[in-house]
Structure formats: C-alpha cells, structure tokens
Amino acid sequence: MKKHANCVYLAAILLAPYVASMGSSKILSEGELNVYSARKEHLIKPLLDRFSEANNIKINLVTAKGDALLARLKAEGVNSPADVFLTVDAGRLHRAQLAGAFQPIKSDLLQQSIPAHLRSDKDEWFGLSTRVRVIVYAKDRVDADRLSTYESLSSAEWKGRICVRSSGNIYNQSLVASMLATQGLSHTEQWLNGFTKNFARQPSGGDRDQIKAVAAGQCDIAVVNSYYLAGMLTSSDDSERDAADKVALHWPNQNDRGSHINISGAGVTRSSKNSELATRLLEFLCAADSQHWYAQINNEYPVLAKAEIHEVLRKWGEFKADQLNVTKLGIYNSDAILAMDRAGWK
C-alpha cells in the first residue's frame, strides 16, 4: 500500500507522558468523556480504557449502528452529552458533518499525522483506519489474469457470476460515489447497467456471506471489504476458514487510480463540553501504538505508515490505493444511491 505521510515524532510526543503517568500519581487531566461509537465494544473499548487510565478520567461508551447514533445526535442537538462520535465510512462522517454534529478540531498533531485525503476538508473529522473494497474470486474457477478493474466487472464475461450485497449498504454506495467523482455520471451509469446484469443472485447478506457464496459455488467473484476476508482466514470457526481458503484476493485498478479505500473515523461533537480532552483522545487513537492495536484487532490498515499491520495483510503485499479525498464519498452519496436505483441494484 502507498505510504501515508507520517509525523515521525508522534509516538514520542503523545505516548511518553501517558506511559509515564501509568506508574506515578501524576494526573495529566481530570474529567469525563462520552463516546458514541459505531464500532463494536470489543473493537474500541480496550483503547479507550488505556486512555482513561493514563489520564485518570472516566469514559462512558455508547455503541450502536452508525445511522442510529447519528439520528440520536441530531435529536439531542446542542444538549447531546456526546463528546466524540466514531463511525465507519466517510459517507456517514460526511452526513454527520452536514448535520452540524461536529466542531472544527485544532490539532497540529492530527494535521501532520493524517493525510489530507483521509480527513474532513473542514477538519471536523479524521480517519483512524483505512479499508479496501476488493474483488475476491474462486481459486478453482477464475483465472486471476482475467481480473483487472471494477469497471471490467460490467463485461459480459461475468454474466451470472457476481455476488455483492445490497445497494443499501454504505460501502457499495461509497464505491459508486468514488466512480461518480472520478469518471462522471454517464460513465458510471453505463457501468452500473452492465454490472447489475451480471449478478448471480439478488443481493443479500453481508460481505462474509458473499465470500461464503463464492466458496460454495453460487458465484465466482464478489466485491467485499478486505478485512472481512482477513477475519475469516483467522477465524476460530472452521467453516469460515474453509470458505476463506477457497478464495483469493485481487486488488482492482492497479494500473490507474488504485483500489477504492474508505475509512473509519471520528470527530469531536458540536455539543462537547470538554473538546480539548476529546481532541486529545483522537490524537491518542492516531498514535503509533494505538494504530498498531487497532489494525491488529480490526484487520484494517492504519492511517500511520509506520504502524504495523496484521500478518495476513502483510502476506497480501503492497497495493496502490486510490488517493481520492474521501470527503467526495459523502458529497456524491445521494447521486450514487439514485444511480444504483435506476440501474436496478436492489
């Protein structure tokens, strides 16, 4: 994967006082933070606990679906107790920004550490990890040399051979939004019309279900986020590992713009009563040690180039990632949904 810009002194500046405070009675700050998280508790709470202990503060964690949490933020308005909103997909983060849920974040550390294309153009949210929308294919039925780009999936060669989840899924919406941003409406609609004709079945289930369908012979290829495949390859469930072993991963568009990426990210809420401490939490989540933990648990790619990645991801090797500013995924989200509807993508 292309190396992101990195603040080389990030860990030294950020983590040293946290580590030092662990073994002393020194209190860096006092207070309380409320975090609304679309990531499941086990995927984020251990990091929050580290920050809580290092700073002698209390963190209250509320987890739910991203759209539900955003609806809650809107309903609560300026009276919301939330200090930080953490969710997946730039499309959702952009929706929150449009709803006025965030406030601008002033942090040289975040500015220097996180590439411009992985954060809000108004500095209201910042990426914490990246994920890639890839093609997985049946090893025994697909010649890898026949795979190239997302665009090629509209070819008649793939008629009745593609599995993908529904158009209601934000990951698919963001993929289409990226195409609208780079190639325009006419080209994207032409692609959508061919792509939807190649579905092996009506879209249903999640990304793991698409991988299982390829393994079971219901289709030959699927479009999924890479971390789902990594999770299945390392699963304690024998059936998931067996299914994952029957497929391989292809990085699309390596000879042009690169594979489509998205993010998980977070921002400080407009209603936060402790925005300085909330900003420091975001800085902590972007520190090298935190990024390493995050990548290991979530099977995603860290936003810091020097942070270690999961062993499975290392085996997949480097790839060219799309450098499109992920804010565009939110800007073109509505147009993407309409175009998918017109193409009959259910």
pLDDT one-digit tens code per residue, 323-337:
999 999 999 999 999
Residue 160 inside a domain? The answer is yes
Same domain, 20 and 70: yes
Angle at 174 between CA 168 and CA 176, to 5 degrees: 90
Dihedrals φ, ψ of 29, to 5°?
-165, 160
Query: For residue 207, which of 136, 259, 278, 284 has the smallest C-alpha distance?
Result: 136
Kindly give the pairing relationship between strand 261-268 and strand 247-250. Answer: unpaired
Residues 176, 283 within the same domain:
no
In a domain, 322, yes or no: no
Question: Are residue 80 and residue 124 in the same domain, yes or no?
Answer: yes
Answer whether residue 110 is part of any domain. Answer: yes
Q: Do 194 and 334 belong together in one domain?
A: yes
Helices marked H in the chain — which ranges? 10-22, 45-55, 66-76, 90-98, 108-113, 170-197, 207-215, 226-233, 238-245, 275-285, 288-298, 311-316, 327-331, 333-342
Q: How far is CA 216 from the centre of its chain?
A: 27
* Residue 153 maps to a domain: yes
180 & 110 share domain: no
Residues 244 and 102 in one domain: no
Q: Are residues 246 and 276 in the same domain?
A: no
| Same domain, residue pair 209 and 80 | no
Identify whether 99 is part of a domain: yes
- Is the separation of the CB atoms in 75 and 248 below 8 Å? no
CATH no. for residue 311?
Answer: 3.40.190.10
pLDDT tens sequence for the chain (346 residues): 443 334 333 333 333 333 333 332 233 345 899 999 999 999 999 999 999 999 999 999 999 999 999 999 999 999 999 999 999 999 999 999 999 999 999 999 999 999 999 999 899 999 999 999 999 999 999 999 999 999 999 999 999 999 999 999 999 999 999 999 999 999 999 999 999 999 999 999 999 999 999 999 999 999 999 999 999 999 999 999 999 999 999 999 999 999 999 999 999 999 999 999 999 999 999 999 999 998 889 999 999 888 889 999 999 999 999 999 999 999 999 999 999 999 999 9
Residue 2 included in any domain: no
Query: Would strands 58-63 and 32-37 be described as parallel, antiparallel, or unpaired?
Result: parallel
Residue 103 structural domain? 10-130+262-316
Q: Are residues 206 and 189 in the same domain?
A: yes
Query: Which SS3 state, helix, strand or coil, does residue 225 take?
Result: strand
294 within domain boundaries: yes
Q: What are the structure tokens assigned to 105, written together?
A: 């974040």
Number of domains the chain contains: 2
Could you tell me which of 67, 60, 16, 22 has the C-alpha nearest to residue 333?
67
Q: Which 3 state secondary structure label does DSSP give 104?
A: coil
d(CA 245, CA 277): 44
Distances (CA, A) of 330 to 38, 70, 97, 156, 259: 17, 14, 10, 31, 18
Q: Are residues 278 and 210 in the same domain?
A: no
- Asked, for residue 289, whether it belongs to a domain, the answer is yes
Q: Assess whether 251 and 115 both reside in one domain.
A: no
- Tell me, yes or no, whether 143 and 218 share the same domain: yes
